Amino acid sequence: MRGRTFRSAIAAFSLLSLPAAGAAQQTGEETPDLFRDGIEVIGQREVAKKVLKENLRELIAPIPMFDVIPRFFEPLCVKVVGMAPDASVTITDRINRTALDVGLDPAKPNCRANALVVVVDDPRGLFEKMLTRRRGIVGIAEMRDVQTRNLRDELRARKPAVAWNLSTLSNSNGATLDGEGYVIATSISASRIVSNFYRPKSLSIVLYDSTQIKNATLGQLADYAAVHLLGSPRRHIDFASVAVPSVLSLFTQGPEAAPAELTQFDKAYLKGIYTLEAGALRSRVPGAVLAGFAQQCEDQQDSCRMQLKK
């Protein structure tokens, strides 16, 4: 896309020197601006690059620059618990479409769930039961992206949605855990852009409080969950500092004011991180997200104009 833009601009400059262009001026006919659109697209890309980079810092969980990006590498197998069957199917299908859009393979029938969306009227009580009866869903601290006390704090504060992820650290030889759950893996080479290790998610959970999501549409609930299941959003976002619309604002803005679906930013973020190879470092995320945004422009044949909040 970018290469074609530059070639179009070069061709436009060469056409300016042709006699036909001069003849048009002499006859008083209006000369078309042959390179205006190309320059506009390049300008929009530069704006998008700045906006995406700034808002990534505000919306995405802070990961050390030289740490690897946690994400799914296996097909996403979604299970929705606590909703009517037709609503569960709607949410599952929508999350699956997003997973396919970012490049994951479709899950096989009767797959083992690795992405849970749970809707319950007492999420705090359910979480405490999980700690004692279903510890595998909560996971050990070394495999989880948030501490137990922080999850308890969020549940005590009655947040409409609480999410967590379990992941392991793997290399080409696989990952092994000692008796306390610590990863034992060795590697002898290193890179500034790609690690020999990668961090596959093994389970991702979004826990909704059914008493606080009544005005949200099934599409909003599915898309909000999809960003948490597939990506790594910040747990606490200051949306006053965010310039782009995101479905992550669902419970801050409220369902009526929040986006009805995944936004331009949300799609670019997810597409970007899932185009990176295993072991890609966090430092490569901004470039990958910008590439994901550019791919949207090409697929939709639009002007690449970055959408900002109203």
Q: What is the pTM of this model?
A: 0.77
* CB-based contacts of 302, cutoff 8 Å, min separation 6: 296
Is residue 75 within 8 A of residue 250, CB to CB? The reply is no
Q: Tokens 């790609």 map to which residue?
A: 194
Comparing 301 with 59, the larger pLDDT belongs to 59
Comparing 230 with 34, the larger pLDDT belongs to 230
Average confidence (pLDDT) over 119-144: 91
In tens, the pLDDT along 3-15 reads 443 333 333 323 3
N-to-C CA span, the chain: 28
Is residue 101 within 8 A of residue 109, CB to CB? The reply is no
Q: What local confidence, expressed as pLDDT, does residue 271 receive? A: 93
Q: What local confidence, expressed as pLDDT, does residue 150 receive? A: 94
In tens, the pLDDT along 191-224 reads 544 556 677 899 999 999 999 999 999 999 999 9
Average confidence (pLDDT) over 302-308: 64
Average confidence (pLDDT) over 91-113: 97
Is residue 281 within 8 A of residue 66, CB to CB? The reply is yes
Q: Parse the chain into domains and list their residue ranges.
A: 51-300
Q: Is the pLDDT of residue 65 over 70?
A: no
Q: What is the mean pLDDT of the chain?
A: 79
Q: Is the pLDDT of residue 243 over 70?
A: yes
Average confidence (pLDDT) over 236-243: 89
